[in-house]
Chain A
Amino acid sequence: MGANRQSLHAEPLVRHPQHAEEAWQMKRLWGATASYTAGGTLLRTQWESGLAPVPAYLIDLSGIAELHGIHDEADGNWRIGPMTTLTSCRSHLGLQTAHPLLTEAVRNIAAPSVRNLATLGGNIVSAVGDALPALLACNSVLQWRTEQGITDQALTEWLEAEQLQSAWKERLLVGIQLPRQTSISQTKRILAYHKVGRREAFTPSVVTVAINGQLGDDGIWRDIRIAAGGGQTRPRRLEHTEALLMENPSNSPSLAVVYQSLLAEFKPKGDSFASADYRRRTAANLIVSELWKAAKRLTEER
Chain B
Amino acid sequence: MSLDQYAAPAVHLMVNGQDMTIDVAPSKRLLAILREELGLTGPKRSCEIGRCGACIVLVDGAPINACLAMAYQCAGKHITTVEGVAQEGEGELDPVQRAFLEEGGFQCGYCTPGMVITVKALLSHTPDPNEDEIEEALSGNICRCTGYGGIKRAIKQAVKWRNGY
Contacts and interface: CB of A to CB of B under 8 A. Distances in A.
Interface in B9-60: 25-27, 29, 48-51, 53, 56, 59
Nearest to A91: B125
The main secondary structure of chain A at its interface with chain B is mixed
Interface in B47-76: 48-51, 53, 56, 59, 62-65, 67-70, 72-73
A44 B140 contact: no
Nearest to B140: A111
Given A112-B139, A116-B64, A201-B139, A12 B27 contact: yes
A122 B123 CA distance: 29
Which DSSP category, helix, strand, loop or mixed, fits chain B's interface? mixed
Nearest to A57: B3
A15 interface: yes
A40 B25 CA distance: 16
Interface residues of A, number: 32
Q: Name, among A12, A13, A111, the residue most crowded by chain B CB atoms within 10 Å (CB to CB).
A: A111
B73 A113 contact: no
Contacts of A114: 50, 65, 68, 140
Interface in A135-190: none
Interface in A5-52: 11-17, 22, 25-26, 29, 40-41, 44-45, 48-49
Contacts of B51: 202
A276 interface: no
Contacts of B136: 107, 112, 201
Interface string A51-69: 0001000101010000000
B8 A14 contact: yes
Contacts of A11: 25, 27
Given A14-B27, A45-B50, A112 B140 contact: yes
A51 to B, nearest CB: 11
A238 interface: no
From A11, A13, A26, A201, name the one whose CB has the most chain B CB atoms within 10 angstroms: A13
B56 to A, nearest CB: 5
Nearest to B117: A113
B137 interface: yes
Contacts of B135: 201
A117 B140 contact: no
A40 B3 contact: no
Nearest to A26: B3
B69 A117 contact: yes
A80 to B, nearest CB: 19
22 contacts: A11-B25, A14-B7, A15-B6, A16-B6, A26-B1, A26-B3, A29-B3, A41-B50, A44-B49, A44-B50, A44-B67, A49-B49, A87-B62, A111-B53, A112-B118, A113-B140, A114-B68, A116-B62, A116-B63, A117-B65, A201-B139, A202-B51
Interface of A: 11-17, 22, 25-26, 29, 40-41, 44-45, 48-49, 54, 58, 60, 62, 87, 107, 110-114, 116-117, 201-202
